[in-house]
Structure 1
Amino acid sequence: MNRRIALVGNPNSGKTTLFNALTGLRQKVGNYPGITVERKEGTVPLPDGSSVTLIDLPGLYSLTPQSPDEQIARDILLGYRDDTPQPEAIVNVVDASNLERNLYLTSQLADLGLPLIVVLTMGDTAARRGVEVDAEALSRELGLPVIPLHAASRAGLSELKNALVSPPPVPPRRRWQLPVTVEEEAEELAALLTSQHQLSPETAFSEAVLLLGTPVAPKTTRWSPEILAHLHGDHERLTREGHDTTTAIAEARYGEINRIAQIVIRRAETPPTTKTERLDRLFLHKFWGYVIFLGILSILFQAMFTWAEVPKGWLESGIAALSGGIQKVMPAGALRDLLTEGVLSGVGTTITFLPQILLLFLFIALLEDTGYLARAAFLMDRLMSRVGLHGKSFIPLLSSYACAIPGILATRTIESHKARLLTILVAPLMSCSARLPVYSLLIAAFIPRTTLVGFHVGGHEFALLTVQGATLFSMYALGTLATFLMAALFNRTLLKSEPPSFLLELPPYRKPIWRTLGFRLWETAWQFLQRAGTVILALSTLLWFLASYPKAPAETPKGTAMERSYAGQLGHAIEPVIAPLGFDWKMGIGVVASFAAREVFVSTMAILYQAESDDEEQQTTALKDRLGAEKLPDGSPAYTPLVAVCLMVFYVLAMQCISTLAVVKRETNSWKWPLFQLAYMTFLAWFVTFLVHSIGKALGY
């Protein structure tokens, strides 16, 4: 069985780049059971023909966890997770340009008593700052192998692989010492942990120091009541005697770290002005910083709305060709209909989102790898924090204009659990591109082209803003406003918390490593297809069944067959609920059918009003005419400008997307949150639409 080695390091230390360089495509990505923290493992072939399993643990600054990611990393290193054995050795990635801060984690890892190798990265960044680290001297002072490495050029990889052939050495006994009273309490608590919980002496002492360094005894079932009571007594005694254990432990560690740093670091007498400092003067400027930021976002918008259309068209054509091929080779029947109208229609629609997702993650990965994403989060934090969101919420919310799915996946960059969940809950309120067909149809059919702002030249009128354009803009504005209002509401009630703290390291600007980007895009594509496909397949099959059964005679018109189907019956059943909104049962069918994807509303209406055509433009024209001519039983028009606006308002606010619910379920690892999301957005859509319809009727519209 392969030895299991943990790859551990601070965020932005080059750890993930090293993992990809060592494992290549020999890696698998999943989630730790019961949580959404990403789990990455890979196989590293070694020069002697053997191999080891490398576990890429989430980045962390210390073994005192501040986020779910850090908690997972700590528990694995201490051997507390049943699903993941304690690693047999550790490869600790240390950033040479921030040596003192990185060595704090190294000090904690050394206490665990596990074999340890230190990999020194970012030597080029340190050199640009006028800093040089003597790797041999650092190895002597730590008593551990220290391997300088440059992952981009792959220099040092062979030395690291050779070092992994044999088990690395166990760290020497610690040199740093705590104040006498604190040291005694730590030793006593470690002895109790060893006797009652069968921990190794090294793990027990490491855990004792971590527990004593936490101001409040943890609420956990991991330790016996006697251990917790003893820990509580230790805290009271040390506090009563004037010991600040958190500070004492940090000072003891940093005392040894500073001693080592003075020996191994050589600094230039006059540190040069770095490229990062020069660029930050521009990118973080109070005015130009925001101008550049908006320019970058404009490019992102352009990519999400237009650049993805070509590959998306290829996928749509491929799915259409596959559907046509199935129709040619399979005899007519329920199985063929299931495959073409259920599986390919539902899952196929989801797959067509893949180009947008890959483009989004390519942009985010480029911004992250170059160091700019941290600056964008810094710029937007002040606005986001006012409604309980995090600075890093901005990019996920922005990308939700194209599609909420990649927006929700992008929330993984948010460390705070509550801020991440809050972003997930409100992201679908941003008007995605799937709503555009609904807006386009209803605005073109029922909203006048009256010019609001324009000018005349040579007897010709040039419109800068029409009622139609203002209506479309108002739909996007409504979704954005609802997003921030609901975030503020949830932050003060359901997810009540203090304003999220925003401590962010601004990494140096770097050139992206394209090989690493390729790995990340491959992971993203595979995870998306795995995460969303299974749930969407099941729900799409259910929707197909509801819209297709009970089967009507072959000569029955499609519109009548749809009305008699279970979906049609459902439309009639919900008519009393949607009637106060100005909707009839046919609109109800459209609402139900478009739950698979919002744009399905247009094709559903085309079937109901028998306006289908192979030519999309002819179908749209015919459908607009049929909708305009539709009458209610009392002879009044079924569709009016007010009804059209109400339909659009409903689609702005309602959760009409199976794909999004499936991804929310996967990302939160629970049905509780997607069901809550479905409930609150449906109620919000109904209530606001009811207000719009009632006010419109009262005003004579």
Structure 2
Amino acid sequence: MSDETPSRRLALVGNPNSGKTTLFNALTGLRQKVGNYPGVTVEKKEGRLTVGETEVTLIDLPGVYSLSARSLDERITRDVVLGRQTDTPPPEGILAIADASNLERNLYLVTQVMELGRPVWLALNMMDLAEAKGLVFDLDRLSQGLGIPVVPIVASKGIGLETLRRKLVGPLPAVPTRQWRLPQVIEAEVSALAEQLRQRRWATDAAAEGEAIRLLLNEPAEDDTPPPADIQAAVAAARERLEAMGIEWWSAEAEGRYGWIQTLCRAAIQQPGQFQRTTSDRIDAIVTHRLWGPVLFAGLMLFIFQSIFTWAQVPMDTIGWMMDRLGALVRERLPAGELNDLVVGGVIAGVGAVVTFLPQILILTLFIALLEDTGYMARAAFIMDRLMRRVGLSGKSFIPLLGSFACAIPGITATRTIENAKDRLVTILIAPLMSCSARLPVYALMIGACFPADRRLWGVFSLPGVVLFAMYALGILAALAMGWLFKKTLIRGASPPLILELPPYRLPSPRTVLLTMFSAGGQFLYRAGTVILAISIVLWFLATHPRSVTLSRDYAAERAAITQTGQMSGEEAADRLQVLERLEKAERRERSFIGQAGKLIEPVIAPLGFNWKIGVGIISAFAAREVFVGTLAIVYGIGDDEDAAGNQALHAALQADRHADGRPVFSPLVAVSVMVFFVLAMQCMSTLAVAWRETNSWRWPVVMFAYMTALAYVGSLLVYQGGRWLGLGQ
């Protein structure tokens, strides 16, 4: 942007589900810049649009229901528009967006925005849905009543956007004034407090009255930046005077705003004379039913996990075959030696074993995106609110927890929408217990190796799908139990009631769903190409060195004797030589650096049913859970043989492994013990780092790591030892 180009900086503000992000994308296209606000993980999005000679920078602020600043999102939005946010210049004006089909609810935020002392435009979105409900708008009367320009649009279809662009680069509208009124006694207190704010320069002249209302009539969040001490004293004194007169100041703002909004809407909107039951209402009668809602939710989850195994099998086999061929090709082209071993036995075996599970990651992400885009996610939170309240949380905590099925990192950042600071902290602490997509390769490996794919329960459900469902259910139950424990001990406090919008059901956007899938797949492959690649190389070195070790027998002499004596048939000799080769490789790995480390921790993990190889996998998985699969591929030498990194080859290696007494290393009981450990353990350094940023303290990440590690050990111990006591396995 040159110095001569006229420019303007505007903030985009609106409720969740009002189409704010759709409008932002439609106006700015690909000219966007995404980052984080300093000190927090709240996403900062800026975009540019050019109309004629004027270039507009649009700041997409978090979707909020009010500016009362009870949550981190609300505080960020308020501070940006007031010019208090570090590293973000104050906007010259505000573009507010409202859902025309639910205008009364949306105007609550709009009236607050109008009191910030800046010019305001209102984009009236989803006009098509409003008209389908029979609503008829008098836009001139609505604009005059609000005192701001109103532009009708349908952001998803591009309708009205050209008119809106011209408005945004035209003359700035006048700063709106407050139209609604409070009871006279409260108005007097607001005026006195506003004057004090002006004198202390805590707010501009135009924004002082709105700031006085927020300070006087709203309880601040625990972690909000407080005003100066004299302002706090003035607020407390004013509240005492109002309470002495029997005035409930805490409900005055909502009553005043909504009373005025309802009067304006009755004058500016013609509504059908009779309430019309929408399609969403009819669907919700079943989906949110007290009995059928939870049953439908559980059935949907079971269907998703069944689909993950059924639909992904063919593409997984294809990727495994491709990795086989790649390993064979590299083995043939590269000269024998360290480099050949590194590429085939380290890189292709380690990374290839993980990449094989990409189809399952994509399918899980597909379902999560569909649930979000159709509007079902909000219903899931509503359904789970009753259960969440029993553990001291609200249904609003369930949305970050549900998002943690994909990854705990965005799940933890999503907790910023939770107003109650204690509820937010508890949700952060239990979010990693939800089975993220990084655990899926571990589950799939254990289930594929130890549970027959053709086995069915009750003739309907496949055994692998049921086991996978059980692992996800265990994560949910563990999260609820720990949430209850935290709310009863370390982080006590009551939860506010759930106030949640149920958006209308919509057909999912194919573009949005595909972008979500590609983003998740890209992140998975990025981790495979960076973190997992680096760890695979290190693990290969540790598994193949030292080269010179003292073995328990002279394998070379035994092979020479078989070859030279000729006492065996050709087929018998080949089989015997192959057995000797496998025994030598196994012993060399056991005496390698990684084998020595595994043997060191084996006494600690043996009560869980784990041998040293599983122990090595668990240690390496603390960097990233999915590394466990690649670690086993390297430890078991997948890549040394002709069937390089294939998924089936690793399954076969696990099934063939035996203890010294002939017992299988991987039985169904051991597989369940391993999966339970991964359900409950904190094995993601990135999640701990994000938890530190969100809580601004190392105390809570340490608590998270300690309690989850202890929970994982005890859980696996109970499963394995309890299973043996019941005679369910070795």
TM-score by length of 2: 0.78
SS of residue matched to 2:636:
helix
Change in Cα spacing, 1:623 to 1:120, as seen in structure 2 (3 Å) is closer
Change in Cα spacing, 1:672 to 1:273, as seen in structure 2 (3 Å) is same
Contact between 1:190 and 1:208, CA under 8 Å: does it hold in 2? Answer: yes
Count, aligned residues: 677
- Correspondence 1:436 to 2:444: yes
Contact between 1:536 and 1:659, CA under 8 Å: does it hold in 2? Answer: no
Q: Determine which of 652, 656, 660 is the counterpart of 2:676.
A: 652
1:603 equivalent in structure 2: 633
1:509 equivalent in structure 2: 505
Q: Alpha-carbon deviations, 1:246-290, whole Å to 9, x = none?
A: 333333333432342232111222343322233333433455545
Q: Distance in 2 between matches of 1:137 and 1:473?
A: 55
- Correspondence 1:685 to 2:712: yes
Q: Distance in 2 between matches of 1:606 and 1:530?
A: 25
Q: Distance in 1 between matches of 2:8 and 2:326?
A: 45
Counterparts of 1:238-253 in structure 2, within 5 Å, are 238-253=242-257
1:427 equivalent in structure 2: 434
Change in Cα spacing, 1:452 to 1:3, as seen in structure 2 (3 Å) is closer
Contact between 2:46 and 2:59, CA under 8 Å: does it hold in 1? Answer: yes
Offset at residue 92 of structure 1 (A) = 0.5
30-39 vs 304-313, which deviates more?
304-313
Q: Alpha-carbon deviations, 1:530-580, whole Å to 9, x = none?
A: 799766666566555544555658999543443344322221221332244
1:574 equivalent in structure 2: 601
Q: Distance in 2 between matches of 1:586 and 1:102?
A: 58
Q: Distance in 2 between matches of 1:289 and 1:126?
A: 28
Contact between 1:20 and 1:516, CA under 8 Å: does it hold in 2? Answer: no
Letter in 2 for 1:85: P
- Correspondence 1:493 to 2:489: yes
Letter in 2 for 1:599: V
Offset at residue 481 of structure 1 (A) = 5.0
Counterparts of 1:354-503 in structure 2, within 5 Å, are 355-388=359-392, 390-391=394-395, 404-406=405-407, 409=410, 415-416=417-418, 417-418=424-425, 420-428=427-435, 432-442=440-450, 481-499=477-495, 501-503=497-499
Letter in 1 for 2:60: D
Q: Distance in 2 between matches of 1:676 and 1:567?
A: 29
Q: Determine which of 675, 679, 686 is the counterpart of 1:662.
A: 686
2:311 equivalent in structure 1: 307
Change in Cα spacing, 1:138 to 1:240, as seen in structure 2 (3 Å) is same
- Correspondence 1:44 to 2:52: no
Q: Distance in 2 between matches of 1:351 and 1:672?
A: 35
Contact between 1:393 and 1:411, CA under 8 Å: does it hold in 2? Answer: no
Offset at residue 436 of structure 1 (A) = 3.3
Contact between 2:81 and 2:91, CA under 8 Å: does it hold in 1? Answer: yes
Offset at residue 427 of structure 1 (A) = 0.9
Q: Distance in 2 between matches of 1:175 and 1:141?
A: 8
Offset at residue 316 of structure 1 (A) = 6.2
SS of residue matched to 2:435:
helix
Letter in 2 for 1:574: I
1:203 equivalent in structure 2: 207
Q: Which runs of 5+ in 2 are unaligned?
A: 2-6, 419-423, 551-555, 557-580
Contact between 1:60 and 1:70, CA under 8 Å: does it hold in 2? Answer: yes
SS of residue matched to 1:17:
helix
1:21 equivalent in structure 2: 26
Q: Determine which of 94, 103, 106 is the counterpart of 1:102.
A: 106
TM-score by length of 1: 0.81
Contact between 1:429 and 1:480, CA under 8 Å: does it hold in 2? Answer: no
Q: Distance in 2 between matches of 1:206 and 1:620?
A: 65
Offset at residue 466 of structure 1 (A) = 12
Letter in 2 for 1:17: T
Offset at residue 396 of structure 1 (A) = 7.4
Q: Distance in 1 between matches of 2:143 and 2:510?
A: 32
SS of residue matched to 1:202:
coil
- Correspondence 1:234 to 2:238: yes
Q: Which runs of 5+ in 1 are unaligned?
A: 455-462
SS of residue matched to 2:151:
strand
Q: Alpha-carbon deviations, 1:10-53, whole Å to 9, x = none?
A: 1221212211211223223333333232322222232x044322
Q: Distance in 2 between matches of 1:153 and 1:266?
A: 24
Q: Determine which of 180, 186, 193 is the counterpart of 1:189.
A: 193
Contact between 2:10 and 2:95, CA under 8 Å: does it hold in 1? Answer: yes
SS of residue matched to 1:201:
coil
- What RMSD, in angstroms, separates the aligned Cα atoms of the two structures? 4.5
Contact between 1:385 and 1:500, CA under 8 Å: does it hold in 2? Answer: no
Q: Alpha-carbon deviations, 1:565-618, whole Å to 9, x = none?
A: 432222122133224445444453354456553334653563399998557657
1:559 equivalent in structure 2: 586
Offset at residue 524 of structure 1 (A) = 5.4
Change in Cα spacing, 1:232 to 1:281, as seen in structure 2 (3 Å) is closer
367-376 vs 652-661, which deviates more?
652-661
2:573 equivalent in structure 1: none
SS of residue matched to 2:628:
coil
Change in Cα spacing, 1:543 to 1:250, as seen in structure 2 (3 Å) is same
